Structure 1
Amino acid sequence: MTVTEQTHTGVIAQADLAALSGVAFFEAVRDGRLPHPPLTSLIPMQVIEVDEGRMAWATRPPERFVNPMGQVHGGYAMTVLDSALGCAVHSALPAGRGYTTIEAKVNMTRPIPMDGTVLRAEGWLVTLGGRVATSEAKLTDARGRVLAFGTSTCLVFDI
């Protein structure tokens, strides 16, 4: 799979977003009926799988994330995993509910290759309460090796 920076990006009007369940929203993004988030014009990411409480993105680190040592900066993994973590929560929410991240933790476990390899960022819901949700995610290479993983706590609210 080739992952490119998205050209079809944009912010969805709050009223339109509130009318969709999380899974319906991400299905529409995946299928091209709604734009990808603007962040995906900076970090090549595409929604590839969505289920209620689970999201997967295909991603490729752009050159702009290479640090002075020639390695992919940890901020790339943190950003991609934050998307997978939050979107896993969002995908489980009914219409009219939103979320924001309260806390996120990421562990880098091996260097991220800067060789054009497409990576997978997958997040899944752990708990969903009336006000707080938790999720986990991992960033893996084409061989399934974990490059980084993370956890998140999110505040859930009416929109």
Structure 2
Amino acid sequence: MDHKNLSGLELMEAVADGQIPPAPISGIVPMKIIEVSSGYIKFFASADKRHINPLGGVHGGFAATVLDSVTGCAVHTMLEAGVGYGTTDLSIKMLKAIPLYKELTAEGKVIHLSKKIGVSEGTLKDAEDNLYACATATCLIYR
């Protein structure tokens, strides 16, 4: 499947369905798309021993990577084929220590989209709806 001819939504749907492999970063920070629609995306993510910092907790980069991915992908779902984006600002609030080996849900949704800028917000929660981190992202759109 030639992903260059797909809209952002079509590309994310193809990744979710296994027709296109996920981004290589999901081999380092396990993330899997479980739901996608225009302006919205949901991932499963789980920290493991590769993400432990020198103090024994999960490194903040785990949540940052997941939230950057989910907020950027939410913007991508609203872009037509051939249009790219890049995160220019990511603001994260770490609210609780990320647990090891626990399946978390990351959700991203677009709150503003213009021809040049996309703004989205994201959350990282567990199945009990405990909020571990949240973020807002600004993406520059390349046309």
TM-score by length of 1: 0.86
Describe how 1:97-112 pairs up with structure 2 within 5 A. Answer: 97-112=83-98
Bigger shift: residues 26-35 or 91-100? 91-100
Q: CA RMSD in A?
A: 1.2
Matched, 1:37 2:29: no
The total of aligned residue pairs comes to 143
> Percent of pairs identical after alignment?
42
Contact 1:122/1:138 (<8 A) preserved: yes
Find runs of 4+ consecutive structure 1 residues off by over 4 angstroms. none
5+ long unaligned stretches in structure 2: none
Indicate whether 1:157 and 2:142 are aligned.
Answer: yes
Quick one: which amino acid aligns to residue 17 of structure 1? H
- For residue 129 of structure 2, the aligned residue among 126, 144, 157 is 144
Residues of 2 paired with 1:112 and 1:150: CA distance?
A: 15
Q: TM-score with structure 2 length normalisation? A: 0.96
Distance in 2, Cα, partners of 1:92 & 1:53 = 6
Deviations 1:59-116, CA, capped at 9 Å, x for gaps: 10021111122211111000000000100000111112111111111110011111x2
Q: Please report how far the alpha carbon of residue 17 of structure 1 lies from its aligned counterpart in structure 2 after TM superposition.
A: 3.3
Q: Any unmatched runs of 5+ in structure 1?
A: 1-11
Deviations 1:34-63 (A, max 9, x none): 001000111111111100000111010021
Query: How far apart are 1:18 and its partner, in Å?
Result: 3.1
